[in-house]
A and B are shown apart, each in its own frame.
Chain A
């Protein structure tokens, strides 16, 4: 009797494991299989307001928290700030009115995780790159980014005229940003750059003179020098580093059924001048900063 119980239990366990392993995920397989080819093969119709969204009838948009100015102002749902405005314009173009938009907090690092996404698209100043495209889908670019350097006015690096002038500086940037790539690939400084979890920490370090200068995108640079670290100034912006312009894109799940629809919506907004208008409205002062040679 003892013997039987002992053999019976593992057998039961194995059987249970096989059942769980065999059945549970298969539902996903079929839906995944149906999804991926559907996207590439037959272009979906993008029926307004009737997309296969995360939550039926709603459009779920993700962004990080806190969401930073000038991209957002306090609450993403208020439509203020460039990215908030763009998000609502895209939603409108897809047939989802303001009341049908749901905002979701998505930390940057989670936006590219391979699991199921809890957003339809994520808008968080994510630059499009070929490497990243292997992990997620991007919409067409909605903003052409330039990187810029800011330094305290009292710092000798505030007078830098060229990229070479910055070589000796202790530079800082936020992790996972193309700003950091700019430091490593364009400036190639002699000191290891400081890498910060958030631009907030980079700002503190700049204020404390723990770094000589930090690299951020141009609108953020103007916002920081205009409102947050007022004794700092924009030293200059970087020239476009050959080839394609760096662009921010909306992040979608890899193989998302919505990618082509969202891209079409963004393209439409670019063509009808909406993006340019929003840029002027929210990022208007990001116009003239000397280009570093």
Chain B
């Protein structure tokens, strides 16, 4: 092999190895920085809902953050999944070919909007607009724990309910675009076969497109979930931190997610010992998104073979 070739191969392979090692490095550095704070922690890190990072008396646990993170992300997923499915089917099966491309572009535009703008819009425009609806749901169905009065002020703006809906809008594009790609690959003979048997358009979708794209759609949804779990600034703006209040499973709770907590209290990072608590929380968020993304990618990769 010529020397130029050798150098070039080493360079490119090195870049590949570097990217592979990045994930490990992220985990390693976060872990090392989190250990001193974890040793100084006076409550159980995994089960406590308290978050107190006074350097002399560290009491912090992730349970509260974990519950709000997962709860708001699941709500977003439940809202976004059917809508994304609808859009993906619309773009692949219903929209005229000439319109499908621009429409797909419009949906992709949603992904290009910076998340801080989603946050500001969510709090200042969207939350007041759905406030009457939230209030009505809260008043009418308060006997269901899901809709009971929450732990934040009664104007019901900075709630998990609002945050979940805004999150749903934010993860729509990723679920839609990936599902669309999968649905597009449905073998034409399957579709034509179903049509030849006299199936209606919906029956064609139900019998060919959906079974073919199911795994891809589920993988795409999990990627959306991963995105929602890690969303930072939009939630830091929308969610009202409910300091010292326990999580109650009400959608009208406030609270903080891993990411929004770190973003909201970024000033705490200036103190080395309190910083460790936030890094520990970041490490848990990293592992959580890692697992979700890992499963999502495995599902999608399996389908691709």
Q: Do A and B bind each other?
A: no
Q: Which residues of B are at the interface with A, using a C-beta cutoff of 8 A?
A: none
Q: Which positions in A face B, CB cutoff 8 Å?
A: none
